[in-house]
Amino acid sequence: MKIKTLENIEIIRDRKESSINPRKFIVWLFIATIVMLFAALTSAYLVKQGEGNWLHFEIPDMFWVTSVVIILSSISMQFAYISAKKDNISWIRGCLLITMVLGLAFLAGQYLSWGELVRQDVFFVGNPAGSFIYVLTGLHAVHLISGIIFLAIVLYSAFKYRIHAKNLNSLEMSVTYWHFLGGLWLYLFFFLKIYH
Amino acid sequence: MGKAKLEDKNQNISVEDHGAEHDHDHHQSFITKYIFSTDHKTIAKQYLITGIFWAFIGGMLSVIFRLQLGFPDMELEWLRPLLGKWITETGKLDPEFYLALVTMHGTIMVFFVLTAGLSGTFSNFLIPLQIGARDMASGFMNMLSYWFFFASSVVMFFSLFIETGPASGGWVVYPPLSALPQAISGSGLGMTLWLIAMALFIASTLLGGINYITTIINLRTEGMSFTRLPLTIWAFLLTAILGLLSFPVLFAAALLLIFDRSFGTSFFLSEIFINGEALPNIGGSPILYQHLFWFLGHPEVYIVILPAFGITSEIIATNSRKPIFGYRAMIGSLLAITVLSFLVWAHHMFVSGLNPFLGSVFVLFTLIIAIPSAVKVFNYLTTLWRGNIVFTPAMLFSIGLVSFFISGGLTGIFLGNSAIDIQLHDTYFVVAHFHLVMGSAAFFGMMAGVYHWFPKMFGRMMDARMGYVHFWLTFIGIYLVFFPMHYLGIAGFPRRYYSFTNFDAFNIFTDLNSFISVAAILTFAAQLVFAFNFFYSIFRGRLAPLNPWRSNTLEWTTPRFLGHGNWPGEIPKVYRWPYDYSKPGAREDFIPQNVPLSVTPESNLPSEKEKVDAENRRTKEKSVNEK
């Protein structure tokens, strides 16, 4: 008689591999929670705006730049995925590095855009119209940092030759998350553009 | 299926035990087995015992404030060793501490007992066992989920003992009261700790919920289709989805409140004078907080009650020895409740200055929830109808749940109407309503689950006689506590008031309040019977048979003391739904899910016969072809 004691490992399915990998599914569910978080905040923004007493100011132009940066980072991320499918190891590493640098550039750009807000006398403390921008961009930045950490882990395994056409799971999850964060930023940007 | 490959994988990761003895823990130290365990069963027990601990704390807090309400003139000097300076010079309960008590009672019961203690215990324990999986999709995340809950518990428990007292703005912590430390002493450090504890709690719930959903969707054993899932699993799935969609919203509310409290923003604050001094905050809206809070808050009551529904469905079907009446209708009503629960939050805000037209939309949705709720009650009663009922303690608690759900649910129809709610809002009528329909009903679901699955959890039986004593004392006690509260509420008696004796309208209720308090204290004392029974039986209970309730679900196909991985050998396959009780023609009055249709020709329905015949034809053709 065998007793299978499975310690600290992924529990393997005792059946045919037909549906989605559980870990990828976890990433999608995690994304759903982030969607709800930002849905809550942006609808709170709309409710608050509807009640009046709302400060009007210019949305920083820097957001255009950071939007382009994050789109580029998504493109290079996608290239990393395509190269992984073709087993082009050096391209994977290059693309992932570029993505990471672009991600950091995005964060720097967001920081500069906060400077633009301060120059307009819009501070974190003050009218909620301004506070909301800081909260939305700040919270997105926090999630982007988590994306960069994830990316760093994937990059490390790419240098250890652990990312290739037959082992795409962690890269795929990182790509999904990264595209989501990019899309989330574009949503926030257009949302702020329309309702400010 | 690639069995060779699978075996190979298991070689790498498993401890192979070729002896007949079931000694599966020889590679685990005490710490990895009982403390930082990734085994879903151990994590479930950790949740359960932490939940029981919190239930006693929460109950004790209510006993203290019931003393104040029932016996306002009582000398409470004897509580000084416990409460210290919260007993005033004159031997009375400090009024601000009274508010802290009701706040913490609510927070503890709603989140720590009936969310973590109920979902955490039974989702963890039953999901892998009932769907036929070796463990959760991610054991590590599961462990993390418990330890986030534990950290949250430590912070919340610590906040009970700080000098300025725990949070005291009500469990809903509405700003501006909760946002301004000057407003009340509980809004100081106590409130900060409350927010930290809740942030940790939300992280724990999300980690747990993500895991539950992933496991149910991806790790079901062969044959376990969605229409063969036990209703417990359906309930846990929908509970987890509710939590996943609503807790991030509470997180958003808590985050903005933290910014208002600690960073000086004005999301929820505007034009406030306090102690004659004008605050700088301008432009915020406290109503905004209420919207965010209740967008979680209302689904939260279903997060509390749905698992209890699932557990009850399972127990009532098993102990009526009948298939659950309207299996699909039960799933449909769970789905309907899940969807509708997101569309009714503003019925908590009818008196907040909400647009009356908007209010009427929320009235409509709220009343529509009565339909799926009534479907559930109807199906419970029709399952019981003419069943061969076995009154186990678990069964009694399940029937008790149905009773509370009916009597508490009916008052919900009144409260859901915005017109009558103006009179009843924030009175003891509301207190009675939600304590019956959600508090006591969910608590009874939890108790039913403990009595029913205790043999699987610990391999031993709880004492049934003590279970009956526990049930009757609690069942009668709860009605004695909460039924009179309806009368208080209709009379306009407001909730959360420290003292009512100065109001002519209310001081005639002194006797009724004393009565409620005595009943509450006795009901609380009755829980000690349970505590003794529970902890004694873990160590000294009679050894449990493999399937003590003659039940159909997969967890009863495991050995008495089961190791990590649940089934020694192959995971059973599933051939039928979980409710084949008293099937006409069958030899026994139950047919477990892992019994193939082909071995029960005497009880197969015509459609099942066809399925078996088709299967036989196919295997025959196959063997002919091979020849």
Q: Report how many helices (DSSP H) and strands (DSSP E) chain A contains, helices first.
A: 5, 0
- Nearest beta carbon to residue B14 from set A5, A13, A139: A5
- In angstroms, the separation between the Cα of residue B604 and the nearest Cα of chain A is 27
- Nearest beta carbon to residue B38 from set A4, A8, A39: A8
Mean pLDDT value across residues B351-380: 94
What gap in Å lies between CA B111 and CA A91, rounded to an integer?
A: 49
Place of tokens 């048979």: B545
Q: What is the pLDDT of residue B563?
A: 85
Chain B residues close to A15, C-beta within 8 Å: 1, 221-222
Q: What is the pLDDT of residue A19?
A: 60
pLDDT at B442 over 50: yes
> At A15, is the pLDDT very low, low, confident or very high (cuts 50, 70, 90)?
very low
Q: Is residue B16 part of a domain?
A: no
Mean pLDDT value across residues B164-173: 94
Q: Which long-range contacts does B67-73 make (Cβ < 8 Å, 24+ apart)?
A: B67/B93, B67/B517, B68/B92, B68/B93, B68/B98, B68/B498, B68/B499, B69/B500, B69/B513, B69/B516, B69/B517, B70/B513, B70/B514, B70/B515, B70/B516, B70/B517, B70/B518, B70/B520, B71/B514, B71/B517, B72/B499, B72/B500, B72/B501, B72/B510
Mean pLDDT value across residues B221-242: 96
Q: What is the pLDDT of residue B569?
A: 86
Mean pLDDT, rounded, of chain B: 91
A135: Cα within 13 Å, side-chain hemisphere: 29
ipTM summary value: 0.89
> At B19, is the pLDDT very low, low, confident or very high (cuts 50, 70, 90)?
very low
**B129: closest CA among B548, B572, B542, B596?**
B572
Is the Cβ of B549 closer than 8 Å to some Cβ of chain A? no
Q: CB distance B6–A14 less than 8 Å?
A: yes
Better pLDDT: B293 or B21: B293
Q: Is residue B548 part of a domain?
A: no
Q: What is the pLDDT of residue B618?
A: 87
Q: Is residue A17 part of a domain?
A: no
Residue B10 is which amino acid? N
User: Are B600 and B529 in the same domain?
Assistant: no
Mean pLDDT, rounded, of chain A: 88
User: Are B573 and B527 in the same domain?
Assistant: no
pLDDT at A9 over 60: no
Q: Is residue B5 part of a domain?
A: no
Q: Is residue B12 part of a domain?
A: no
Mean pLDDT value across residues B462-466: 96
Q: CB distance A53–B247 less than 8 Å?
A: no
Q: What is the pTM of this model?
A: 0.91
Reported as a single tens digit per residue, the pLDDT across A124-147 is 998 999 999 999 999 999 999 999
- Nearest beta carbon to residue A33 from set B140, B248, B267: B248
Q: Is residue B553 part of a domain?
A: no
User: Are B421 and B475 in the same domain?
Assistant: yes
Which CATH number characterizes residue B45's domain?
A: 1.20.210.10
Domain end position, chosen among B540, B569, B589: B540
What gap in Å lies between CA A97 and CA B11, rounded to an integer?
A: 37
Reported as a single tens digit per residue, the pLDDT across B56-95 is 999 999 999 999 999 998 999 999 998 989 999 988 999 9
User: Are B576 and B507 in the same domain?
Assistant: no
Q: What is the pLDDT of residue B281?
A: 87
> At B1, is the pLDDT very low, low, confident or very high (cuts 50, 70, 90)?
very low
**Residues above pLDDT 90, as percent of chain B:** 80
Q: Is residue A111 part of a domain?
A: yes
Q: What is the pLDDT of residue B504?
A: 83
User: Are B469 and B618 in the same domain?
Assistant: no
**A155: closest CA among A85, A86, A101, A106?**
A101
Closest chain A residue by Cα to residue B279: A126
Q: Is residue A10 part of a domain?
A: no
Cis peptide before B176 (omega within 30 of 0): yes
B194 within 8 A of B173, measured Cβ to Cβ: yes
Give chain B's domain count.
2
Q: Is residue A8 part of a domain?
A: no
Q: Is residue B32 part of a domain?
A: no
User: Are B48 and B114 in the same domain?
Assistant: yes
Mean pLDDT value across residues B461-489: 97
Chain A residues close to B256, C-beta within 8 Å: 41, 44, 135
Q: What is the pLDDT of residue B526?
A: 97
User: Are B462 and B573 in the same domain?
Assistant: no
**B269: closest CA among B185, B181, B189, B347?**
B181
User: Are B534 and B567 in the same domain?
Assistant: no
Give chain A's domain count.
1
Q: Is residue A7 part of a domain?
A: no
- Nearest beta carbon to residue A3 from set B137, B218, B568: B568
Sign of the CA dihedral A108, A113, A115, A118? negative
Q: What is the pLDDT of residue B12?
A: 38
Chain B residues close to A24, C-beta within 8 Å: none
Chain A residues close to B563, C-beta within 8 Å: 3, 5
Q: CB distance A29–B295 less than 8 Å?
A: no
Token pair, residue B542, equals 């009679």
Q: CB distance A29–B247 less than 8 Å?
A: no
Reported as a single tens digit per residue, the pLDDT across A68-117 is 999 999 999 999 999 999 998 899 999 999 999 999 999 999 999 999 99
Q: Is residue A152 part of a domain?
A: yes
In sequence order, the 6+-apart residues with CB closer than 8 A to the CB of B191 are B167, B169, B173, B178, B181, B261
- Residue A57's Cβ-count burial label (10 Å; 0-12, 13-18, 19+) is middle
Reported as a single tens digit per residue, the pLDDT across B311-339 is 999 999 999 999 999 999 999 999 999 99
Q: What is the pLDDT of residue A163?
A: 85
Reported as a single tens digit per residue, the pLDDT across B194-214 is 999 999 999 999 999 999 999
Is the Cβ of B206 closer than 8 Å to some Cβ of chain A? yes
Q: CB distance A16–B1 less than 8 Å?
A: yes
The residue range of the domain holding B440 is 39-269+279-540
User: Are B433 and B301 in the same domain?
Assistant: yes
- Nearest beta carbon to residue A3 from set B17, B215, B249: B17
Reported as a single tens digit per residue, the pLDDT across B98-139 is 999 999 999 999 999 999 999 999 999 999 999 999 999 999
Closest chain B residue by Cα to residue A128: B267
Is the Cβ of B21 closer than 8 Å to some Cβ of chain A? no
User: Are B486 and B620 in the same domain?
Assistant: no
Reported as a single tens digit per residue, the pLDDT across A149-165 is 999 999 999 988 888 88
Q: Is residue B343 part of a domain?
A: yes
The CA distances from residue A161 to A83, A95, A151, A153, A155, in Å, are 13, 15, 15, 13, 10
Q: What is the pLDDT of residue A40?
A: 95
Q: What is the pLDDT of residue B400?
A: 97
Q: What is the pLDDT of residue B27?
A: 61
Q: Is residue B27 part of a domain?
A: no
Residue B355 is which amino acid? N
- Provide the number of CB pairs (under 8 Å) joining chain A to chain B: 182
User: Are B411 and B506 in the same domain?
Assistant: yes
**Residues above pLDDT 70, as percent of chain B:** 95
B573 within 8 A of B222, measured Cβ to Cβ: yes
pLDDT at B5 over 80: no
Closest chain A residue by Cα to residue B1: A16
Is the Cβ of B64 closer than 8 Å to some Cβ of chain A? no
DSSP alpha helix (H) spans, B416-463 = 418-424, 428-434, 441-458
Choose the weakest-confidence range: A44-48, A179-183, B232-236.
Answer: A44-48
- Residue B90's Cβ-count burial label (10 Å; 0-12, 13-18, 19+) is exposed
- In angstroms, the separation between the Cα of residue A44 and the nearest Cα of chain B is 7
**A167: closest CA among A76, A81, A73, A78?**
A81
Q: Which long-range contacts does B251-254 make (Cβ < 8 Å, 24+ apart)?
A: B251/A37, B251/B199, B251/B202, B252/A37, B252/A40, B252/A41, B252/A44, B252/B292, B253/A40, B253/B289, B253/B292, B253/B293, B253/B296, B254/B195, B254/B198, B254/B199, B254/B202
User: Are B360 and B427 in the same domain?
Assistant: yes
Closest chain A residue by Cα to residue B570: A14
Domain end position, chosen among B510, B540, B570: B540
The residue range of the domain holding A47 is 24-51+61-194
Enumerate residues 234 to 253 of chain B having a beta carbon within 8 A of any beta carbon in chain A: 244-249, 251-253
Which CATH number characterizes residue A173's domain?
A: 1.20.120.80
Token pair, residue B339, equals 């969807």
